[in-house]
Amino acid sequence: FEIAGGSCGLGLLSKVYCLKIVAKMLVNEEIYQKLLTVPDFKDVPTDQIAWLSAHGTIRKHEDGEKIFKPGDWIDDLRILFSGRVNLYREQAGSLQYFDTIDVLEISGRLPYSRMKSVAFYGIAEGETITYALHKDHFPTLIREKYELSEVLVHAMTDRVRQFTKVQQQNDKMVALGKLSAGLAHELNNPSAAVIRSAHELKKHLANIPTRFKRVIKIQATDEVVDYVNELLFSKIKSPSVKALSLLEKTEKEDALIEWFDGHSIEDGELMAETFAEFAFEIDDLENLRRVLRPEDQNAVINWLYQMLTTERLVTEIEEASSRINTLVTSIKSYTHMDQSPEKQTADIHEGIRTTITILNHKLKRNHVKLDLDFTNDLPQSKIYVSAMNQVWTNLMDNAIDALEGVKDPMITIKTEWDREFVVVTISDNGPGIPVDIQDRIFDPFFTTKPIGKGTGLGLEMVRQIIRQHNGRVEVKSIPGKTEFIVCFPVS
């Protein structure tokens, strides 16, 4: 300015002209030309583009370079001039692709944005050149560059909208993954039981022909046949009055083995466990021995063992198959896949129980006790069934996570009927939510969970769904007790 204005002794108009020349000299022509090609800037005056080029800097990154990572402070508006920046987030110890910043796309910190730090890893693809404008220039930009500010604000809202869309889609995939993992975990035991029992049954039935000769040689009156049948079916219908401890079970099996050996019954050691399981006592066997001919005792007792074993294996297959059917029915009910997405009259308790079935593997893994305090006369409500199941899932899943490391973890689910409203309270005995963040937990993307474990959209989704039902959700939390209270009209 001294050279252009003061020292030359020029007049006011000449000084202004000289200042314009100096300003033009400060413009980086290469940056300026590149900024003109940014689609969002097509209606921005060129002098404002020139201002951007004069105040920004250029940064270069090699292919594969980690440009930023979660937690890095971000102070710049950025525009990608070449290359690509792929965004990743950490999940289960590995990086999962999230989104991509493409050429001429505006990113980084924007005017009026509350963004302070990065939530993702940004990795360069190809040689990457980025324009950066520091936030210190934002006050001037907002005050003097109206059209440019307007474009950047629109870019910020579009970015939030797109980010939310992608995040929600990813959350759905994560939820589906959790659902699939839980279902696979729950199906593993009953399916393995079906296979194991079917295999044992096949092997067991293969032995029957060798024993059949003894059975048809039995000579018995109708009274003896009736006695054996009544004994068999009485044990099948009520196999055990009470569960035996390991010591009691061992003592009973030893006593049966001793009796079998004492009366020259073949395979006594093999049969003892099954007879003990069906509550056979020594008196039962003594009474049976008295009504049979000595030469028929082995054949009859072995026949009883065959029938009891067949009954046990068939019962195991039936119970395991029933468990699989229950899980499939629960999944169908949870997703409500056979119904249209309209409000329907439904039992709230059924949806909660279905959700418990879905999350049962996580409850067992974390040793969480469940206390259900349901109101018996609770009326059915008109709801979006699948959406409300998401509410119960998010609240229960959060409660389970909050109980990690807690001694004697407990979740209580209580339902009430308050005039025309249904009130559902889900509480846990975890450490509680700090007072200073309780008013933020329903904000989008706010989470206290580690990166990759929480997205901050679960409670926001809960609030949106409850609002769709003209209801409300609130939280009360102190150390040792956190309550989420969901209230919505019956219809």
Place of tokens 């468990």: 323
Q: How far apart are CA 396 and CA 415, in angstroms?
A: 14
Q: Look at the alpha carbons of 328, 334, 338, 344 in this order and tell me if their dihedral is positive or negative.
A: positive
Cβ proximity of 278 and 293 under 8 Å: no
Place of tokens 């000579």: 219
Q: How far apart are CA 406 and CA 414, in angstroms?
A: 21
DSSP for 86-116, written as a single string? EEEEEETTEEEEEEEEPTT-EEE--TT----
Q: Which two tokens stand for residue 24?
A: 């033009």
| pLDDT tens for each residue of the chain, 491 residues long | 344 444 444 455 444 444 444 444 456 888 999 999 999 999 999 999 999 999 999 999 999 999 999 989 989 999 999 999 999 888 767 788 878 899 999 999 998 887 788 888 999 999 999 999 999 999 999 999 999 999 999 888 887 777 776 666 666 666 666 666 666 666 765 777 778 778 888 777 766 666 666 676 677 778 888 888 888 888 887 655 455 667 888 888 999 999 999 988 888 888 898 898 888 889 989 998 888 888 888 888 888 888 888 888 887 787 777 767 766 766 666 555 445 557 889 899 988 987 887 777 788 888 899 999 999 889 999 898 878 888 898 899 889 989 988 999 999 999 999 888 999 999 999 999 988 888 888 876 556 655 444 444 578 888 888 988 889 999 999 999 999 999 999 88
Strand partners, 428: 411, 482
Q: Which two tokens stand for residue 121?
A: 């890893």
pTM: 0.44
Cβ proximity of 323 and 362 under 8 Å: no
Distances, alpha carbon 192 to alpha carbons 13, 179, 235, 302, 361, in Å: 91, 20, 27, 28, 16
Q: Which amino acid is at 360?
A: N
Q: Look at residues 45, 46, 40, 55 and name the one whose alpha carbon lies nearest to residue 151.
A: 40
Q: How far apart are CA 149 and CA 252, in angstroms?
A: 85
